Amino acid sequence: MSQTKPITILGIFVADTSYRADRPPRMGETILGNSFALGPGGKGSNQAVAVARLGGDVHLISRLGDDAFADLAIKTWKDAGVKPEVTRDQDSYTGAAYIFIDEASGDNAIIVCPGAASAISAEDIDARADLIASSSILMTQLEQPIPAAHRALETARKNGVTTILNPAPAAALDGKIISLCDFLTPNETEASELTGLPVNNIEDAKAAAAALVEMGAGAAVITLGENGALFHDGKAFETVPVISVGPVVETTGAGDAFNGGFATALARGMKPVEAMRFGCAVAGISVTRAGTASSMPALSEVEALLAR
């Protein structure tokens, strides 16, 4: 089934500055790294690129500065096919992220400075209310201010648009926001932050998912790294295994790949668990490549993997 209405994403763009080294530096210490890369990132932007690479009609609501990193954002979206709904702010800077990547494992630690995107407001959402109302899905995260995310979810819910909140980075949320989410898609850390429960294994994840549904989410989709993903809608629990394609190069952006794939599949009419399997395939390919936006696969690659 093809997508008939657009997917609208609220989120930020940041320029990812990635440093590979054998270990992170201690405070006050300088170490030699193994490599450096500059590329496009930001959860909302990454998710939009993932959707566009999968053939989806996707609009991204955001803010940029007026600088070289903003030019990188515009080029990234043009190349992928993302339609920007973006305000340029001459008094601020485009967001940037420091990403440390452990050379041996591919695991990462990240500091994000949103820059102009930290001024995204409810007014930005109201100015694009018609776009949200005409969408099949509204997806957002927590890198821009929470009041803007709240207004976007509220606008979507009022218009019968399916809502996805990827609550990253981890933050405390009140029940009002959670109750606006058809799908809440935390990872283990974020699920633990939201519920106050430890999430170290599948059984823990089930308890957290049940708590999130009790808090008002329509369904919880908890991503569990190498253990795949867990679905719970208040009735059944279902797990979707990770789809392994080859050696892991870098896990940065895997969650964005999953969310972009999940939203794309839902927009095409797939049932939630089927959409999670699609998302796992997108993420499975992305972790075999370096970078974030640059690691997102094309639809043909995902379809070939699932057919296999």
Tell me the per-residue pLDDT of 156-182, one tens digit each, with 9 for 90 and over: 999 999 999 999 998 889 889 999 999
Q: Is 102 part of the annotated catalytic residue set?
A: no
Q: Report whether pLDDT(21) > 70.
A: yes
pLDDT value of position 305: 95
pLDDT value of position 293: 87
Give the DSSP per-residue string, the chain: ----S-EEEE---EEEEEEEESSPPPTT-----SEEEEEEE-HHHHHHHHHHHTT--EEEEEEE-SSHHHHHHHHHHHHHT-EEEEEE-TTS-EEEEEEEEETTT--EEEEEEEEGGGG--HHHHHTTHHHHHT-SEEEE-SSS-HHHHHHHHHHHHHTT-EEEE---S-----HHHHTT-SEE--BHHHHHHHHS---SSHHHHHHHHHHHHHTT-SEEEEE-GGG-EEEESSS-EEEE-----S-----TTHHHHHHHHHHHHHHTT--HHHHHHHHHHHHHHHTTSSSSGGGPPPHHHHHHHHH-
pLDDT value of position 187: 96
Q: Report whether pLDDT(63) > 70.
A: yes
Q: Report whether pLDDT(301) > 90.
A: yes
Tell me the per-residue pLDDT of 83-96, one tens digit each, with 9 for 90 and over: 999 999 999 999 99
pLDDT (average), residues 18-44: 95
pLDDT (average), residues 254-279: 97
pTM (two decimals): 0.92
Q: Report whether pLDDT(1) > 60.
A: no
Q: Report whether pLDDT(2) > 80.
A: no
Domains of the chain, earliest start first: 7-12+43-92+118-307 (3.40.1190.20)
pLDDT (average), residues 108-116: 90
Q: Which of 57, 89, 182, 256 is catalytic?
A: 256
